[in-house]
Amino acid sequence: MQPIVLLTDFGLSDPYVGQMKAVLHTLVPDAPVLDLSHGVPPHGVMQAAFFLAASARYYPAGTLFVAVVDPGVGTGRPLLYAESAGRFFLAPDNGLLTCVLEQDARIFRLESTAQQTAFACVRCASLKPATEQYHADAHPMQTVPPSATFHGRDIFAPLAAMLRRGPATGLPAHPVRPEDITTPDWNRARGSSSRLEATVMHVDRFGNLLLNASAEQWLPVVDAWQKRTGSAAGVVMRHENHPPVMLHVVETYALLPHLTDSVPARVTVSDRVTVSNRVTASNGVTVSAGSPAGLLASSQGYLEIACNCRPASQVLGLRTGSNIILTPAENSHA
């Protein structure tokens, strides 16, 4: 049986993750249950969407992802069950799936009601158990009403068990188009051949800034800027009312200048950005010694802004949800 993968904002200091796993183990004891992350910030739908989109391809085809970052728990918000690129997803309809679903995804909308839970448990009970020790009638959720504040345990887990043990035929749901589900503004970067508008979707533990811009789509655009303006020019980042900041375009963190006492922790440049005080990095690429931040393709498939051994979030004053604009820089004649 293919795995069930959990993604939540529950953390590990409370019993919530363990209770979800208890329900899954009771209903589908033969299904491996893996953890993608339970460290999503509370109510961090955007970060959860990033985690899911960046990670899904590393799991085998047939994997069922159960994503529970659900600020609307207990309300009439619907649930989504989707299939995309050979993998399956169960999540609230709050934008969490918009980054991971491909255009040809099959999407179904479910209503999050107590009847769904009862249906899931009855459906599980009607299936042949995977082991002799499996007794569906022993599951407490058949007699205890579901909590209005913990759908992860009481609705998502039994639905996931039902979906894992058999086909979704008979599931009370109706198909919807990708454009009909909740789609926040941050789901994709937007831009043109001379401008990229992006959002910081996640700040990792190193302070690196992960953008909502696909590296596969946007790195060729940035490379074209480099060819047009010169390899030393980098790109210019603008954020709200802050002065523009130069970003070097590099392949890895170690090619960026080290922040030392001679380099300020926060670096800004004038509106007409030029590169001066240039040095040559170890790979032969000429960069500016005066700016510590860089733009690169992250390991997660998205563009990333980082510094060398320093948190770019602090150096640049950016956080999750910050909106930025990237444009080509002027070439240097210094």
Of 151-155, 269-273, 328-332, the range with the lowest mean pLDDT is 269-273
101 pLDDT above the threshold of 80? yes
Q: Mean pLDDT over residues 285-295, rounded?
A: 64
Strand partners, 296: 304
Q: Which domains does the chain have, with CATH numbers?
A: 4-180 (3.40.50.10790), 188-328 (2.40.30.90)
What are the pLDDT digits (tens) for 254-267?
Answer: 999 886 544 444 44
Is 311 or 229 the better-scoring residue by pLDDT? Answer: 311
- Phi and psi at residue 133, to the nearest 5°: -80, -5
pLDDT band at 219 (very low <50, low <70, confident <90, very high): very high
Q: Which helix (H) or strand (E) holds 202?
A: strand 195-203
135 pLDDT above the threshold of 70? no
Question: For residue 239, which amino acid is it?
Answer: H
Q: Mean pLDDT over residues 160-183, rounded?
A: 83
- Give the Å distances, CA to CA, from 319 to 201, 209, 226: 9, 8, 27
pLDDT band at 228 (very low <50, low <70, confident <90, very high): confident
Residues 50 and 211: their CA atoms lie apart, in Å, by 9
Neighbours of 279 (CB within 10 A): 12
Residues 218 and 26: their CA atoms lie apart, in Å, by 45
pLDDT band at 140 (very low <50, low <70, confident <90, very high): low
The reported pLDDT for the residue numbered 285 is 38
pLDDT band at 284 (very low <50, low <70, confident <90, very high): very low
Radius of gyration over alpha carbons of the chain, in Å? Answer: 23
Is 169 or 106 the better-scoring residue by pLDDT? Answer: 106
Which residues are within 8 A (CB) of 109 and not within 5 positions of it... i.e. 6 or more apart?
78, 79, 80, 93, 173, 174, 175, 176, 181
pLDDT band at 117 (very low <50, low <70, confident <90, very high): low
